[in-house]
């Protein structure tokens, strides 16, 4: 068969870009659309019927008509389309792309025909770096991927390492993790509310969103020492216990944010301009979302109640009460409403965590994984040696592989680690929800107006640090 | 129960040593699909992922069979390069190769995960694309090609996704050094 060298040498600058209309065959395009439209329950016989509706999508090339069988010949309008369309770039430095996302769009007037996200501008090889770092250092690496929910990244890495280690965490560590994870969900969704408001022209929403997020980050700083990239959740537990008086701090955040979400309702939810710009825009169906592996608020906006916290519980999510929010239409407004209400559900969880927080250790008392307490180092030579070995050699993780997934604010955040029995992961793969969810952008944008592209891209909530890793 | 089922899927082939690879693979897959209805009765924390080891030629059919059985979503697809660390836990029948393609599938209805692990030799790093079954594999397979040089036959757009188009080599391969390219911007002066 063909080797890889052929593929790499034939690529040149621009190969990743959106090709001209004539570069792909009709069969290819039909397959693409058909596969998306296939759905999880439809049978093969239904596909040709679905394809009939998209035949106008591309003019048939000479010689393709016979192979495509019963499909109708191209209409004259489509043949005339070739010269009329225009391919434009949005990004990679466009402010609405939340980083360095480049969208290549083919336009017919103001209507978007095709879109291709071009990514990789922020690629820093974090999976390769992860193979060079020990498990004790690993969480400093993964926390930088999704910089808006760093604690969730640390959490999935730690859970995966612990699954390989086979250690059981003390209850307090589990509940602290849950508290921090939910607070992070609140701050991440607030940040999304802010940027989404900005993208739709509501500058005040941006100021408000950042203001509330700052309160959560203030608590993170008090607990972990840093506002972002905390390295707080580590394999074996968390780095430190919660600070004294944390209940009051968190309660204050809950009260404030909850009251402010009422204000967001007044500002955006009921506002006619906001609704006009979001309702019925960027629609994706449940079949398309499932076929494209889309998870998180986008999948839930199509009406599928899939939330890993509920459906495949991890930590202690089966011991708290909360609702999974679903939409009906799968449009931008549904995704806005889901995120706004998920802030409220997260606060509901946080309040239960405050009530039920168990006493005890905040990290596992397993000498193999946990360094000795600081006080012991002053009085015991062995503890000093142990501490030194822990941070120079790390701990060894038994051979094997594990895939663990959690519900990050953006969807299923997965971590696949292969261990060869040493102190470093042999392979660490992160399944970034933003990376996969970006595949939904072309489907959401197709047939829409170019003016809505900004709003729709924003509603996917991509974090480019995680997309490119 | 799920644990037992996993064991069955891996070991049933070893017991029928005189059967061909095709039938044993089919048999273990049937056993897995047959056991699907037991999964919802299990408590969530006991639902271990079911691991399947199809031959490379059978990979598309196995994923297709899982799709027909109602598996809604491809959660993840990645590649592992076993150049420096030989496999430890493969079933006896499976010949270890350098690359392994790992597809994680998700049954939403059952709340169960499936992991399909396929060996891909270094001399012929190609495998069928499952794009026709799960279009969500588009970006994941492109990433696998970009990082490991595995070519997915039938993928509509087999180009690099994260690295620049003119990049040489595949960075996540184990024989690709970490510090080989000191500065990635050609115009910038090097260190010293």
Nearest residue to A343 via CA among A269, A232, A236, A237: A269
Residue B78: strand pairing partners: B102
Report the complex ipTM. Answer: 0.79
CB contact under 8 A, B108 and A304: yes
- Nearest-CA distance from B114 to chain A in Å? 10
d(CA B40, CA A318): 16
How far is CA B23 from its chain centroid?
21
- From its phi and psi, is residue A407 left (phi > 0), alpha (psi between -120 and 50) or beta? beta
Across chain A, what does the average pLDDT equal? 81
Cβ contacts of A110 within 8 Å, gap of 6 or more: A449, A450, A451
Whether A147 and A211 map to the same domain: the answer is yes
Q: Which domain holds residue A61?
A: 43-84
Q: Does any domain span residue A116? A: no
Q: Does any domain span residue A10? A: no
Q: Does any domain span residue A25? A: no
Lowest mean per-residue pLDDT among A451-460, B12-21, B31-40, B53-62: B12-21
Per residue in A112-123, pLDDT tens? 888 888 888 888
Question: Which pLDDT score is estimated for A66?
Answer: 37
Whether A158 and A52 map to the same domain: the answer is no
Whether A288 and A346 map to the same domain: the answer is yes
- Tallying the residues shown for chain B, one arrives at 192
CB atoms within 10 A of CB A469: 26
pTM: 0.82
Whether A54 and A152 map to the same domain: the answer is no
Q: Which residue of A has its CA nearest to B173?
A: A128
Confidence label for A95 from pLDDT (cuts 50, 70 and 90): low
Q: Does any domain span residue A390? A: no
Per residue in A413-446, pLDDT tens? 999 999 988 889 999 999 999 999 988 888 888 8
CB contact under 8 A, A468 and B168: no
Q: Which residue of A has its CA nearest to B168?
A: A8
- Tallying the residues shown for chain A, one arrives at 469
Domain count, chain A: 2
Question: Which pLDDT score is estimated for B93?
Answer: 79
Confidence label for A25 from pLDDT (cuts 50, 70 and 90): low
d(CA A346, CA A416): 27
A166 interface with B at CB cutoff 8 Å:
no
How far is CA B93 from its chain centroid?
17
d(CA A387, CA B147): 37
- Cβ distance A130 to A428 under 8 Å? yes
Whether A157 and A47 map to the same domain: the answer is no
The CATH number covering residue A234 comes to 1.10.645.10
Q: What angle do CA B110, B115, B119 make, to 5 degrees?
A: 160
CB contact under 8 A, A436 and B137: no
Confidence label for B138 from pLDDT (cuts 50, 70 and 90): confident
A414 interface with B at CB cutoff 8 Å:
yes
Whether A312 and A434 map to the same domain: the answer is yes
CB contact under 8 A, A35 and B131: yes
d(CA A403, CA B94): 21
CB contact under 8 A, B125 and A4: yes
Whether A324 and A178 map to the same domain: the answer is yes
Q: Does any domain span residue A18? A: no
Q: Does any domain span residue A110? A: no
Q: Does any domain span residue A388? A: no
- Cβ distance A433 to A412 under 8 Å? yes
Looking at domain B54-153, its CATH architecture is: 2-Layer Sandwich (3.30)
> Which residue would you say has higher pLDDT here, A63 or B57?
B57
Across chain B, what does the average pLDDT equal? 75
Whether A74 and A132 map to the same domain: the answer is no
Whether A74 and A146 map to the same domain: the answer is no
> Which residue would you say has higher pLDDT here, A79 or B152?
B152
Residues of B within 8 A of A469 (CB-CB) are 162
3-state secondary structure (DSSP) of residue A410: coil
Per residue in A240-270, pLDDT tens? 889 998 999 999 999 999 999 998 888 888 8
Residue B52: strand pairing partners: B116
Whether A202 and A344 map to the same domain: the answer is yes
Q: Does any domain span residue A12? A: no
Per residue in B60-69, pLDDT tens? 888 888 888 8
- How do beta strands B50-52 and B112-120 pair? parallel
3-state secondary structure (DSSP) of residue A25: coil
Whether A79 and A134 map to the same domain: the answer is no
Q: Where are the beta strands (DSSP E) in A76-227?
A: 86-90, 102-108, 111-118
d(CA B87, CA A174): 33
Closest residue to A403, CB basis, from B104, B137, B138: B104
């Amino acid at each position: 068969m063909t080797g890889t060298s052929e593929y790499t040498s034939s690529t040149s600058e621009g190969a990743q870009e959106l090709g001209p209309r004539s570069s792909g065959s009709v069969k290819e395009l039909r397959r693409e659309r058909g596969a998306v439209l296939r759905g999880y329950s439809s049978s093969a016989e239904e596909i040709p019927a679905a394809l009939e509706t998209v035949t106008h999508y591309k003019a048939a090339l000479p010689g393709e008509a016979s192979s495509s069988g019963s499909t109708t010949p191209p209409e004259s309008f489509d043949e005339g389309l070739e010269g009329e369309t225009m391919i434009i770039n949005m990004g990679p430095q466009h402010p609405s792309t939340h980083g360095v996302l480049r969208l290549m769009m083919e336009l017919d007037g103001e209507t978007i025909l095709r879109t291709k996200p071009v990514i990789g501008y922020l690629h820093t090889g974090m999976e390769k770096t992860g193979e060079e770092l020990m498990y004790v250092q690993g969480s400093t690496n993964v926390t930088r991927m999704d910089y808006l929910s760093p604690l969730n990244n640390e959490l999935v890495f730690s859970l995966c390492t612990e699954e390989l280690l086979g250690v059981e965490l003390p209850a307090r560590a589990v509940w602290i993790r849950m508290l921090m994870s939910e607070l992070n969900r609140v701050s991440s969704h607030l940040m999304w509310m802010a940027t989404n408001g900005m993208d739709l022209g509501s500058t005040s929403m941006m100021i408000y969103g950042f203001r509330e997020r700052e309160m959560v980050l203030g608590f993170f700083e008090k607990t972990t020492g840093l506002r972002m990239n905390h390295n707080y959740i580590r394999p074996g537990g968390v780095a430190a216990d919660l600070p004294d008086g944390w209940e009051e701090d968190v309660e204050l955040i809950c009260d404030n944010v909850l009251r402010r979400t009422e204000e967001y309702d007044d500002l955006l939810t009921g506002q006619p301009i906001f609704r006009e710009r979001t309702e019925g825009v960027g629609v994706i169906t449940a079949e398309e979302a499932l076929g494209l592996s889309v998870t998180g608020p986008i999948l839930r906006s199509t009406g599928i109640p899939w939330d890993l916290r509920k459906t495949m519980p991890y930590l202690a999510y089966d011991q708290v009460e909360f609702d999974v929010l679903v939409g009906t239409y799968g449009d931008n407004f549904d995704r806005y409403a889901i995120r706004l209400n998920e802030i409220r559900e997260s606060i509901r969880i946080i309040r239960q965590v405050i009530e039920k927080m168990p006493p005890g250790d905040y990290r596992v008392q397993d000498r193999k994984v946990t360094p000795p307490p600081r006080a012991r180092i002053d009085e015991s030579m062995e503890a000093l040696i142990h501490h030194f070995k822990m941070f120079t050699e790390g701990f060894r993780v038994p051979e094997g592989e594990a895939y663990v997934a959690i519900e990050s604010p953006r969807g299923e955040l997965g971590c696949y680690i292969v261990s060869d029995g040493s102190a470093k992961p042999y392979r660490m793969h992160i399944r970034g929800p933003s990376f996969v969810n970006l595949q939904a952008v072309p489907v959401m944008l197709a047939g829409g107006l170019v003016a809505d592209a900004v709003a729709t891209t924003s509603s996917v909530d991509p974090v480019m640090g995680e997309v490119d890793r | 129960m799920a644990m037992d089922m996993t064991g069955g899927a891996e070991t049933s082939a070893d017991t029928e040593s005189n059967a061909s690879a095709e039938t044993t693979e089919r048999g273990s897959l049937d056993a897995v699909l047959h056991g699907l209805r037991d999964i919802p009765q299990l408590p969530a924390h006991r639902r271990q992922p079911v691991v399947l080891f199809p031959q490379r030629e059978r990979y598309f059919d196995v994923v297709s069979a899982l799709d027909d059985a109602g598996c809604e979503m491809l959660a993840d697809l990645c590649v592992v390069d076993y150049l420096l660390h030989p496999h430890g836990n493969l079933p006896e029948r499976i010949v270890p190769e350098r690359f392994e393609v790992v597809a994680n599938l998700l049954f939403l209805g059952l709340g169960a995960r499936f992991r399909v692990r396929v060996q891909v030799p270094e001399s012929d790093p190609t495998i069928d694309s499952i794009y026709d079954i799960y279009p969500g594999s588009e970006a994941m397979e492109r990433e696998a090609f970009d990082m490991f040089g595995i070519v997915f036959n039938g993928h509509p757009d087999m180009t690099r996704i994260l690295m620049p188009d003119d990049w040489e080599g595949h960075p996540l391969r184990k024989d690709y050094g970490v510090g080989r390219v000191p500065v990635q911007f050609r115009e910038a002066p090097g260190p010293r």
